Copies of this chain bind each other. A is one copy, B any other.
């Protein structure tokens, strides 16, 4: 078995069906082996390696399988840095396969041969594991290790940079693997059950870790059975969106009723959530005067962070939830607490729906239930998040969560399509769409059923908002200050992609590539937000004072 055969066989056994990249000399032998196994695994040609990386991310975010991107040496490799750093921040299991031609790397000179890089040095700080493989003997072991690390524990990207001759070299006989899952002993469940016995207002605070551990159904069933309300981080709003026990996402641009509910909790059980919101800020601190926090965190390094009034268990969400689901879990007077939550939601559900939110919600209501929504970065993603809850849909929704990689959505949409084989709705802004517009060629030439909802305010909106708060004028963020957009209708036509101006009907078919443009005034800012120092439920613009005080007292 050659190195390329072993690697390809391993990927197939892990369930990987689609990989993404751009060919180059040193990677060709891997590409030809992928081509030989075409019925089982397909290599797709990207038009910028950055989008190959995002496609791999979108693929794994949707499917839970490992995402794979490959590149040739030199700029092919460095072009992958952004999606790899994004995958690292977001805990996305992406395997990056690159290759090199030189066995020896002389780090004293700038490059040993043209385009040769110290890839491990470049990628070490944004991967779980990065390795340069120069021996056929070590190859199989390193591939197994890479697959286990990328998908194990807190997931994340891994890079293998392979001496090109290993792809065609015979490697020592060994069995390809298909990944392993381990179960740990759980001590958190008992603690949670005991604490709940004396709690009046408990909540689950979930995050993307629920998706990553494939426990969406379990948390939903547990919440409904125990009547414990669930709040989430913004990017986990699609875990159990239509459950009666779900009450939206918290945060400085969060849902008002979610922030209200959090402010009233007396027990916060954080699970699959890294606690990235500003826990120690004046907005959230008052909560811990009344509430205890229990935190299930699979990454031991994260678990070492200090959280106020918090007991942390370095355990996996899946294991804890599995254990809890087998046990009797109850708390004091669920009816009163769920009635309060319901009252808050009802009172505030219609609030904060501005034009972009209502238009996105109309689009969301029109799409098929199996369609995948993929978000870009900027104000558009926040409008999209809000519209999602407002629309009351249950589609899967992907984000660049923590890294905020502008322009990621086209690549991720491509990956999400191949993972789901369902239509994809890509929500993006005018700056993000431009950043990687070359990938429209991929969508157009393969006639993928990807509908792009372009929320076009002709501005770099998020930075413009920040300028508005602090500076005397705008620079490079509005049409008047140096920012610009092309004619998006012509851009779509260039790539054989349909074009329509916004109407809900545009989202009904989703049977081919389509760009739907919704235009807004650049002055529409991101609202509501949380002014520094305000308690988390006291968002801006301020709501009616009487209503606020009534709800705050509940």
Q: Which residues of A contact B (CB under 8 A)?
A: 22-25, 28, 31-32, 35, 43, 45, 47-48, 50, 74-75, 78-79, 81-82, 85-86, 88-89, 91, 107-111, 114-115, 117-118, 121-122, 124-126, 156, 276, 299, 301-302, 304-305, 402-407, 431, 434-438, 440-441, 444-445, 460, 463, 466-467, 470-471, 475-477, 482-487, 490-491, 493-496
Nearest-neighbour CB distance to chain B for A236, whole angstroms, equals 16
With contacts A114-B403, A118-B125 known, what are 4 further pairs, Cβ within 8 A? Answer: A32-B475, A88-B110, A89-B115, A486-B496
A-B contact list, 15 entries, CB within 8 Å:
A23-B475, A43-B476, A47-B435, A75-B85, A75-B403, A81-B82, A89-B114, A109-B299, A110-B156, A110-B299, A114-B404, A121-B124, A438-B438, A440-B486, A441-B484
Are B115 and A403 closer than 8 Å at their CB atoms? yes
Residues of B within 8 A of A403 (CB): 74-75, 111, 114-115
Closest to A487 in B: B494
A475: chain B residues within 8 A (beta carbon): 23, 28, 31-32, 35, 43
Known: A45-B476, A109-B305, A301-B109. A25 touches B466 (CB 8 A): yes
CB <8 Å contact, A89 and B111:
yes
Residue of B nearest to A467 (CB): B28
Partner of A493, one of B437, B484, B490: B490
Q: Which of B75, B108, B405, B477 contacts A74 (CB 8 A)?
A: B405
Q: Is the CB of B24 within 8 A of A463?
A: yes
Question: Given the complex, which residues of B lie within 8 Å of A444, measured CB to CB?
Answer: 486
Whether A304 lies near B79 (C-beta < 8 A) is no
Contacts A115-B402, A475-B32 given; does A436 touch B434 at CB 8 Å? no
**Candidates B45, B88, B114; contact of A483 at CB < 8 Å:** B45
Contact pick for A126, options B85, B122, B486, CB 8 Å: B122
Of the candidates B81, B118, B470, the one whose C-beta lies within 8 Å of that of A81 is B81
Decide: A302 and B109 in contact? CB cutoff 8 A: yes
Least CB distance, A68 to chain B, in whole angstroms: 15
Set B32, B156, B406: member contacting A471, Cβ < 8 A: B32
Question: What distance in Å separates the Cβ of A192 from its nearest Cβ neighbour in chain B?
Answer: 24
Q: A441-B486, A463-B25 are in contact. Are A75 and B304 (CB under 8 A)?
A: no
A441 contacts which chain B residues (CB < 8 A)? 434, 484-486
Q: Which residues of B contact A108 (CB under 8 A)?
A: 301, 304
Residues of B within 8 A of A406 (CB): 75
Chain B residues near A75 (CB-CB < 8 A):
82, 85-86, 403-407
Q: Which residues of B contact A435 (CB under 8 A)?
A: 47-48, 438
A122 interface neighbour in B22, B125, B494, Cβ under 8 Å = B125
Q: Which residues in B have their C-beta under 8 angstroms from that of A494?
A: 486-487, 490-491, 494
- Alpha-carbon separation in the docked complex, A211 to B402 (Å): 43
Q: Which residues of B contact A47 (CB under 8 A)?
A: 431, 434-435
Measured between beta carbons, the chain B residues less than 8 angstroms from A115 are: 89, 402-404
Task: Give the shortest distance, in Å, between A35 (CB) and chain B (any CB).
Answer: 5
B28 & A470 in contact (Cβ 8 Å cutoff): yes
Contacts of A50 in B (CB 8 A): 79
Q: Which residues of B contact A407 (CB under 8 A)?
A: 48, 75
A352: min CB distance to chain B, Å = 22
Query: A78 with B74: in contact, given A111-B402, A463-B23 (CB under 8 Å)?
Result: no
Bound complex: CA A263 to CA B374 (Å) = 59
* Chain B residues, Cβ within 8 Å of A89: 110-111, 114-115
User: Please, how many angstroms separate the alpha-carbon atoms of A551 and B494 in the complex?
Assistant: 52
Alpha-carbon distance between A79 and B54 when the two chains are bound, in angstroms: 13
Q: Report the Cα distance A493→B482, complex, angstroms.
A: 20
Closest to A300 in B: B108
Q: Which residue of B lies closest to A125 (CB)?
A: B121
Q: How far is the CA of A477 from the CA of B22 in the complex (A)?
A: 9
Residues of the B chain whose Cβ atoms lie less than 8 Å from the Cβ of A107: 125
Q: Are A125 and B117 in contact (CB under 8 A)?
A: yes
| Most chain B CB inside 10 Å of its own CB: which residue of A75, A107, A437 | A75
State how many angstroms separate the Cβ of A159 from the closest Cβ of chain B: 13
Are A434 and B445 within 8 A (Cβ)?
A: no
| Smallest beta-carbon distance A86→chain B, Å | 7
* A45, B470: Cα distance in complex, Å: 20
Interface centre among A86, A436, A438, A460 (most CB of B within 10 A): A438
